[in-house]
Structure 1
Amino acid sequence: MKTVLRLEKSNLSSRTYDQIRSALMNGEYSPGERLRIANLAESLGISITPVREALFRLVSEQALEMTAATSIKVPELDASTVEEIQLMRRLLEGAAAERAALHATKSEIEELAEIHERFIEAVSTSSTDAARINRDFHFKLMETARMPSLYDTVASMWVRMGPLLQIFHSHLPGREISNRNHPHYRVLSGLKKKDAAATSRAIQEDIAWGEKILLEWMAQNVVREA
């Protein structure tokens, strides 16, 4: 009986970790926001222990930041950290895109096209949905590459960037995304042609474009606060 209870506790902690990690990735928490263990436990309907274990695990992965013995918050990334993370994303997601172009099936390409169309629709109605669906596009592309270790590595970067990417989508004018020049269209074209170089170049352009706009917004925001 004791073994079963330990397993249940471990599973609950793992599920709590996955839930909070996904919320970070989706931008449900803002940079600098404090996460209170008791409040999270109450909202999730569970005890404090699995929440504490999940948060400490995320702190060890740099997804959260501990500022005192009991104070945990969402990190506020500076420009140099954003540039570093985005560089790693360009390299790794670019490599995944190359592999995806060689392995993607017709149904996978159709699913990516459908995700992108939902993304374009969400741009004009909900920045939260747009951020989430954009993530779905990138992760489906990586899934299509069939490179699970790369997928997990990039996922950890999205966890750290999630809160900022949500801000990016909430401040970016819809017209900047919804036009036919969006890099996602070139990703889809590259996949259909099985052009590995073009597909890789397109997803890297997408990441670089987002980085440029995000850094410009961060610089302006700092100026306003100064």
Structure 2
Amino acid sequence: MTPTLRVDKSNLSSRTYEQIRSALMNGEYSPGDRIRIANMAESLGISITPVREAIFRLVSEQALEMTAATSIKVPQLDAATVAEIQLIRRLLEGAAAEKAAGKITKDRLDHLAQTHDRFIEAVSKSASEAARINRDFHFELIAAADMPNLYEIVGGLWVRMGPLLHVFHSHVPARAISNDNHPHYRVLKALRVKDGASAAKAIQEDIAWGERILLEWMSFSSLLSA
């Protein structure tokens, strides 16, 4: 699968890198998808060189894997790697939520609530859209903490998890997400009263819940393919 990307002609390598990275974060690729450099360059209307440079940069960040000189794939993470990434996410995103509770403005909080509403609406319509908007919610929350280094680190984790998070939204029944018990509601409630500890706990519960569903699905899928 090759998402439709558009790249400005200036600083092609960096712009191509950002576009592919964003596509991975948004779940526009699935685990195991093969990326053909020549095909991507053709679809973008640019030369192979900037695409290759962008791909190799993502390989160095473990967002993509190279199994041969011309074979680039989206990694298929194992259960141990998923559990480790999700643990780090819980720690970092929890810290960001706690900090955000004391700093978030009313406008930012209102926008975060609107993002959640759009996420719930998208759940029953489009897995890819739900995955993208869910990412928006998490990164708007992190941005409100004003911790740019943490933001970048978590971004790297989401690049690796994005393809699986799309799978998550494709397989979880909409009714399991779009209900009044979704942890995002507790995040918003805590932010409104500036309760940092509760905001941290709620976003960590959200990440932990997603991890349980992912690991259950991965275990079931491995049994089917055995």
Q: Distance in 1 between matches of 2:30 and 2:39?
A: 16
**Pair 1:208-2:208 in alignment:** yes
- Which residue does 1:18 correspond to in 2? 18
Q: Distance in 2 between matches of 1:200 and 1:106?
A: 19
What TM-score, normalized by structure 1, do the two folds share? 0.95
Q: Distance in 2 between matches of 1:167 and 1:142?
A: 23
Q: Distance in 2 between matches of 1:43 and 1:216?
A: 36
- Which residue does 2:142 correspond to in 1? 142
Q: Aligned runs of 1:129-208 on 2, under 5 Å?
A: 129-208=129-208
Q: Distance in 2 between matches of 1:10 and 1:49?
A: 14
Q: Distance in 2 between matches of 1:90 and 1:205?
A: 8
**Pair 1:219-2:219 in alignment:** yes
Deviations 1:102-133 (A, max 9, x none): 00000011000000000000001111100000
The answer to whether the 8 Å contact 1:24/1:160 transfers is: yes
- Specify the SS of the correspondent of 1:46: coil
Q: Aligned runs of 1:15-94 on 2, under 5 Å?
A: 15-94=15-94
Deviations 1:180-225 (A, max 9, x none): 0000000000000000000000000000000000100000000011
Q: Distance in 2 between matches of 1:185 and 1:30?
A: 29
Would you tell me which structure has more helix in proportion to its own residues?
1
How far residue 155 of structure 1 moved from its aligned partner, in angstroms, is 0.3
Q: Percent identity?
A: 73
Deviations 1:151-187 (A, max 9, x none): 0000000000000000000000000001100000000
Q: Distance in 2 between matches of 1:141 and 1:53?
A: 32
Q: Distance in 2 between matches of 1:71 and 1:214?
A: 27
Residues 197 and 33 (structure 1 numbering): CA distance in 2 closer, same or farther, change over 3 Å?
same
- Specify the SS of the correspondent of 2:39: helix
How far residue 43 of structure 1 moved from its aligned partner, in angstroms, is 1.1
Q: Distance in 2 between matches of 1:128 and 1:122?
A: 9
- Which residue does 2:110 correspond to in 1? 110
AA partner of residue 122 (structure 2): A
Q: Distance in 2 between matches of 1:73 and 1:124?
A: 29
The answer to whether the 8 Å contact 1:9/1:50 transfers is: no
- Which residue does 2:95 correspond to in 1? 95
- Specify the SS of the correspondent of 1:67: strand
AA partner of residue 172 (structure 1): V
The answer to whether the 8 Å contact 1:112/1:141 transfers is: yes
What TM-score, normalized by structure 2, do the two folds share? 0.95
- Specify the SS of the correspondent of 2:68: coil
Q: Distance in 1 between matches of 2:160 and 2:135?
A: 13
TM-align CA RMSD:
1.1
How far residue 44 of structure 1 moved from its aligned partner, in angstroms, is 1.1
Structure 2: unaligned runs, 5 residues or longer: 1-7
How far residue 9 of structure 1 moved from its aligned partner, in angstroms, is 8.0
- Specify the SS of the correspondent of 1:103: coil
- Specify the SS of the correspondent of 1:180: coil
